[in-house]
Amino acid sequence: MTIPENKIYPRTGDKETIYLKNVIKNPNIEVGDYTMYNDFANDPTLFEKNNVLYHYPINHDKLIIGKFCSIACGTKFLFNSANHTLSSLSTYPFPLFFEEWNLDKKNVTHSWDNKGDIIIGNDVWIGYEAVILAGVSIGDGAIIGARAVVTKDVPPYTIVGGVPAKPIKKRFSDDTISSLLSIQWWNWSKEKISKNIKAIQTGKIDELQ
Distance between CA 97 and CA 122 in Å, rounded?
Answer: 40
With the CA atoms of 31, 122, 69 and 133 taken in that order, what torsion angle do they form, in degrees rounded to the nearest 10? -70
Cβ within 8 Å of residue 54, ≥6 positions away: 78, 79, 80, 81, 82
Closest CA to 95 of 111, 83, 84: 111
CA distance 131 to 164: 10
| Residues belonging to the active site | 84
What does the angle CA 45 – CA 46 – CA 49 come to, to the nearest 5 degrees? 155
Q: Is 65 helix (H, G, I), strand (E, B) or coil?
A: strand
Minimal CA–CA distance to 154: which of 190, 125, 194, 175? Answer: 125
- How far apart are the C-alpha atoms of 190 and 15, rounded to whole Å? 24
